[in-house]
Amino acid sequence: MSKAEKQKQFPKDLFRLDSLADDIKRNMVSQLGNDPRNKRKFPYFHALGHSVRERLIDMWMKTQGDYYDSMTKRVYYLSLEFLPGRFLMNYLTNMQIVDECKQVVEELGFSLEELEEEEWDAGLGNGGLGRLASCYLDSMASLRIPGYGYGILYDYGIFYQSIRNGNQEERCDNWRRSGCPWEIVRRSTLFEVRFYGRSEAYHNVDGKVCYRWVDTDNVMAVPCDILIPGYGGEHVSNMRLWAAQSSREFSLADFNRGDYIGAMHGKVMSENITKVLYPNDQFVQGMELRLKQQYFLVSATFQDILRRYLKRHVSLAALPDAVAVQLNDTHPAIAIPELMRLLMDEHNLGWEVAWDICTRTFAYTNHTVLPEALETWPVDLLGRLLPRHMQIIYEINRRFLEGVAQKYPGDTERLSRMSIIQEEGGKRVRMANLAIVGSHTVNGVAALHSHILQTGLFHDFHEYYPRKIRNVTNGITPRRWLLQCNPALSRLITQAVGPDWVCNLDKLRELVPMAEDSAFREAWAKAKLDNKRNLARYVLRKVEMGINPNTMFDMQFKRMHEYKRQLLNVMHVISLFNLIKDNPSAGITPRTVMVGGKAAPGYYQAKLIIRLINEVARVVNSDEDVAGRLRVVFLPNYCISQAEKVIPAADLSEQISTAGMEASGTGNMKFSLNGALTIGTLDGANVEIMEEVGEENIFIFGLKAHEVAEKRRNGYNPREFYENDPELRRVVDMIGSDFFCPDDSGLFRPIFDSLMNHGDFYMLMADYRSYMDAQSAVSALYLDQKEWVRKSILNAANMGKFSSDRSVMEYARGIWNVEPLEG
Catalytic machinery residues: 367, 558-559, 564, 666, 670
Instruction: State the Cα angle at 236 between 235 and 238, rounded to 5°.
Output: 150
**Torsion sign across C-alpha atoms 388, 391, 397, 398:** negative
Say which amino acid occupies 354: A
Helix (H, G, I), strand (E, B) or coil at 568: helix
Q: How far is CA 585 from CA 573, 616, 629, 817, in A?
A: 18, 21, 11, 64
Instruction: State the Cα angle at 708 between 703 and 711, rounded to 5°.
Output: 115
**Torsion sign across C-alpha atoms 642, 644, 645, 647:** positive
Q: How far is CA 363 from CA 54, 184, 329, 659, in A?
A: 35, 29, 10, 27
Helix (H, G, I), strand (E, B) or coil at 323: strand
Rounded-to-5 percentages of helix, strand, coil across the chain: 55, 15, 30
Cβ atoms 657, 681 nearer than 8 A: yes
Instruction: State the Cα angle at 635 between 633 and 638, rounded to 5°.
Output: 150
**What is the SS3 assignment for 300-314?**
HHHHHHHHHHHCCCC
Burial class (CB in 10 A: 0-12, 13-18, 19+), 369: buried
Start-end of H helices in 172-277: 252-256, 260-271
Closest CA to 377 of 339, 420, 341, 436: 420
Say which amino acid occupies 375: E
Query: How do 699-700 and 677-680 pair as beta strands?
Result: parallel
Question: What CA–CA distance (Å, rounded) separates 624 from 476?
Answer: 42
Question: What CA–CA distance (Å, rounded) separates 720 from 38?
Answer: 69
Question: What CA–CA distance (Å, rounded) separates 188 from 194?
Answer: 19
Sequence-separated (6 or more) residues with CB below 8 Å from residue 711: 703, 763, 766
Question: What CA–CA distance (Å, rounded) separates 127 from 719?
Answer: 34
Cβ atoms 443, 472 nearer than 8 A: yes
